[in-house]
Chain A
Amino acid sequence: MNEHAQIPDAHAAGAAAEAAGEGFDAGTLLIGHIANSDPHHPLIPLPVVFGIDLSVTKHVFMLWVVAALVFVTVTLLVRGYLKRGMTAPTGAMNALEFIVEYVRDSIARPNLGSKWLMAWTPLLLTLFIFILAANAIGLVPIFEVLGLLNHYVLHASPDSFLGTLLHGGSTITANFNVTAALATITFFAVIIAGSRAHGFVQHWLNLAPKGLPPLLYLLLVPLELLSMFVRPFALTMRLAANMTGGHLAILAFLSFVFIFTETFSTALAGIGVGLLFSVPVSTGIYALEIIVVLVQAYVFTLLSAVFIGMAIHAHH
């Protein structure tokens, strides 16, 4: 745990030494360590299709890395398990089985009921494992270590592939575009679930339950339509803001080292603040972040299951 907190410390020390002439700009540093790379200087420039720039930026690259990692890990584990004859699982397969059973029994079954359980559990599992992996990989300071390597060994130019990858930002779920894509999946899953359970027209008619005074429909239907869009928006912002907030807090506390160094013009102040305050507090927040990573994956999956269940059981 301590190495994770101290490595961004050391990297930021390198960056601050470079920027010593301009003073320490905490705001730019913090945002730079969480946000995507510059859209005008992408990692791999690709053509513009239908007005959408397909160029690969840092977060797109990390999306591919996370997806490949999850795909390879889960496929290898399950293939090995199937080849061994599907008896009691061992090792990492044990952990995967725990996750699958937890999502199926605690998240999917209470919300979907047994009839639609096997139809929607794969989607919920995919969401859970992908968000968990994306959140967790964001906690590992890959690009900060890369920055250290670059500063002392490689010296790549800021425009190269390596240069654009630098300065943090391996948390793809901190980007609200990524979480919006996941929430869009949930949005369409709810519509498809309701349509499969009740028929396409009846799913929309279920927005207004029978047996209410007519005046109430005037209020209820727009409210239901609005909530249909507000829910994915809330899913988006909840995940993105939770991930950003944790990293922002860690970086802010570590910035105190440089702010104090600058204010008192001696490195000793910075080191003192760092050892006594910044690094212990950042370590504590890192531990809290591990809990947040697990909880946010759980909440996204749980809410998706609840919304799908509400569409399926609309007639109560």
Chain B
Amino acid sequence: MGEAASFVPFAYVGAALGIGMAVIGAGLGIGRLAAASAEAIARQPAAAAQITGATNLPLFLLEGAAIIAEVFCLLIVLMK
């Protein structure tokens, strides 16, 4: 714990924690989506195409959220 002026190492810790939490969040969310859609298709195989279509959009929105988190963490690391 030296001078208060050097907070740069904490930026790295913050970025690493941030990207870890973003991946945990995305993993949990996408896992729930996949489980729900698999169960729905099992209940009614005839609607498989519609269920896949309905799952696609939220899936990629969630993935987009995780990617945006990654971009900001990368920004922290690169811009210090």
- Could you list 25 A-B pairs, sorted by A, with CB under 8 Å? A31-B78, A106-B53, A110-B53, A234-B61, A237-B64, A237-B67, A237-B71, A238-B60, A238-B63, A238-B64, A238-B67, A238-B68, A240-B71, A241-B68, A241-B70, A241-B71, A242-B67, A245-B67, A245-B70, A295-B60, A299-B60, A299-B64, A302-B56, A302-B57, A303-B57
Chain B residue numbers with a CB within 8 Å of A106 are 53
A13 interface residue per 8 A CB criterion: no
Task: Kindly provide the distance from the CB of A234 to the nearest chain B CB, expressed in whole angstroms.
Answer: 6
Give chain B interface residues in 36-80, CB to chain A under 8 Å.
Answer: 53, 56-57, 60-61, 63-64, 67-68, 70-71, 78
Complex contacts, A110 vs chain B, CB 8 Å: 53
Chain B interface size, under 10 / 10 to 19 / 20 to 34 / 35 or more: 10 to 19
Question: Within 8 Å CB of A241, what residues of B?
Answer: 67-68, 70-71
In the bound assembly, the distance between CA atoms of A237 and B66 in angstroms comes to 11
A314 on the B face (CB < 8 A): no
Report the minimal beta-carbon distance from B64 to chain A, rounded to whole angstroms: 4
Interface residues of A in 97-112 (CB under 8 A from B): 106, 110
By beta carbon, the residue of chain B nearest A296 is B60
Contact B68 A234 (CB under 8 A): yes
A299 vs B59: C-alpha distance in the bound complex, in angstroms?
10
Contacts of B67 in A (CB 8 A): 237-238, 241-242, 245
Min Cβ gap B3→A in Å is: 26
Count of residues in A whose CB is under 8 Å from the partner chain: 15
Label chain A's interface by main secondary structure.
Answer: helix
Chain B proximity of A293: nearest CB distance (Å): 14
Q: How many A-B residue pairs have CB under 8 A?
A: 33
Q: Which residues of A line the B interface, CB within 8 A? A: 31, 106, 110, 234, 237-238, 240-242, 245, 295, 299, 302-303, 306
Please give, as numbers and ranges, the residues of chain B lying within 8 Å of A299 by CB-CB distance: 60, 64
Which chain B residue lies CB-closest to A233? Answer: B68
Cβ 8 A contact of A302, one of B60, B71, B78: B60
Give A242 to B68 CA distance when docked, in angstroms. Answer: 9
How far is A277 from B18 in the complex, measured between Cα atoms in Å? 28
Candidate in B63, B67, B70, B78 with the most chain A CB atoms within 10 angstroms:
B67
Minimum CB–CB distance for A39 against chain B, Å: 17
Residues of A with C-beta under 8 A to B71: 237, 240-241
B30 vs chain A, min Cβ distance (A) = 13
- Min CB distance, A252 to chain B, in Å? 12
CA distance A4 to B53 in the complex (A): 33
Q: How far is the CA of A240 from the CA of B68 in the complex (A)?
A: 10
CA distance A242 to B63 in the complex (A): 10
CA gap between A302 and B64 in the complex, in Å = 13
Shortest B78–chain A CB gap in Å is 8
How many Å lie between the Cα of A234 and that of B67 in the bound state? 10
- CB-CB < 8 A to A306: which residues of B? 57
Known pairs A234-B61, A245-B67 / 20 extra A-B pairs, C-beta < 8 Å: A31-B78, A110-B53, A234-B64, A234-B68, A237-B64, A237-B67, A237-B68, A237-B71, A238-B60, A238-B63, A238-B68, A240-B71, A241-B67, A241-B70, A242-B67, A245-B70, A295-B60, A302-B57, A303-B60, A306-B57
In the complex, A299→B68 CA distance in Å? 15
B51 CB to closest chain A CB (Å) equals 13
